Amino acid sequence: MTPPASASLLRWRRIPAAVACAGALALTLGACASDDPDEGTNGIGDLPAAEIEERARQAAVDASAVRLSGTVISEGQSYRLDVRLSEEGAVGEVSAEGTTFELLRVGEELYMKADEAFWESEGIPEELETDPAEKLDGKYVRVAPEDPAYEQLSGFTDKETLLDGLLTLDGERETGERGEVGGVRTIRVEADGGVGGAMEVSLDGVPYPMRLERGGAAGELTMDDWGEEFSLHAPNEDDIVDYGDAMIEPRD
């Protein structure tokens, strides 16, 4: 039987009323929600700035791997880095003075690869120009541990040494604003108002350093893929040019 018109009208009038009640309930629940910006985080936002920094540095030491990208300025030289680092080695690119070369370290074995334009460039140390550029184009050059270049180049591939030298702040620490790096919530730690550097530390999960602004405008770096393993393999022997321990011969 068809309901009377008055009953049908009453039923439709109840729908907006129900919606209104649901909206009021949602507002009430929202009002009861916590206003704590650190709710659901790892809790470091409540710590002193110096302790946040220390936890970030320790997290970096404990991590098995990381990808580091950005710019480092040292002794007036600007380097652009994009390297993946682990305890077993590293792989990535380094750019300096308009030239780019690849570095690969597997254990103690260190390899360098660049194109002909790199080897012909005046931007590389003259000691490296020990062979025609066309022979080195696209080849991996094995850098012996005895070679003077080994220490300098391997510094870009040593996770512990590189992070220990980069993750430094200078000056009185204080916490700054909360932000986000790559979708990860962060809290900022500044030294000397930012002049001595600043570090964005993850508020989600392990308190890894996610971004670093080096003091004295000495570059900016992003760190991600913490703990994500990657494979490292030595090049095929056919792709290697081996100079033994005499790759670099000082010129007369």
pTM for this model (two decimals): 0.77
- Provide the residue range defining the domain that includes 195: 44-242
Q: What is the CATH number of the domain that holds 227?
A: 2.50.20.20
Scanning the structure block, which residue is given the tokens 């390899």?
A: 111
**Is residue 171 a part of any domain in this protein?**
yes
What is the number of structural domains in the chain?
1
pLDDT score recorded for residue 132: 53
**Is residue 164 a part of any domain in this protein?**
yes
**Is residue 175 a part of any domain in this protein?**
yes
Q: Are 89 and 83 in contact (CB under 8 A)?
A: no
Average pLDDT, the chain: 82
**Is residue 200 a part of any domain in this protein?**
yes
Residues 6+ apart with CB under 8 A from 107: 88, 89
Scanning the structure block, which residue is given the tokens 């490296």?
A: 128
Strands (E), the chain: 65-74, 77-86, 89-96, 99-106, 109-113, 140-143, 173-181, 184-191, 197-202, 209-214, 220-224, 240-242
The 10s digit of each residue's pLDDT in 10-63 is 343 444 444 444 444 344 444 444 566 677 899 999 999 999 999 999 999 999
Closest CA to 191 of 218, 171, 210: 171
**Is residue 22 a part of any domain in this protein?**
no
Q: Mean per-residue pLDDT for 143-166? A: 91
**Is residue 9 a part of any domain in this protein?**
no
**Is residue 7 a part of any domain in this protein?**
no
**Is residue 58 a part of any domain in this protein?**
yes
